[in-house]
Amino acid sequence: QVQLVESGGGLVQPGGSLRLSCGASGSIFRLTDMGWYRQAPGKQRELVASITGGGSTNYAESVKGRFTISRDNAKNTVYLQMNSLKPEDTAVYYCNAFIATMTLQTGAYWGQGTQVTVSS
């Protein structure tokens, strides 16, 4: 069994910052690509940022220069530092990770989501 647990969401004013965290736990053999997605009301889920096991990163155009993804491999944790937040960043943010378990099953796992609201 593998779990992804997110934290760090909340309400912030435009221009503010938030830091999201997502920790993976359970029967993990190897954790490779990790990422953050978001889904706003009435819209499809979209990739925000991703990071490989080696640290290579990829960002949606809408967040480049404002968001930074990072990871701590020793803690099986991925972070998303969000600066200069805009109302259009309001969404539920989901953590995603590609994991091989101790029984060598592989697949993508999702967290439960954390709400980020940017409003004055």
* Residue tagged 């697949």 (tokens): 107
Question: In whole angstroms, what is the distance from residue 31 CA to residue 115 CA?
Answer: 25
Q: Which of 106, 86, 100, 107 is nearest to 40 (CA)?
A: 86
Q: Do 116 and 18 touch, CB atoms closer than 8 A?
A: yes
37-96 per-position pLDDT tens digit: 999 999 999 999 999 999 999 999 999 999 999 999 999 999 999 999 999 999 999 999
- Rounded mean pLDDT of 18-28? 96
Question: In whole angstroms, what is the distance from residue 82 CA to residue 20 CA?
Answer: 8
Residue 22 three-state SS: strand
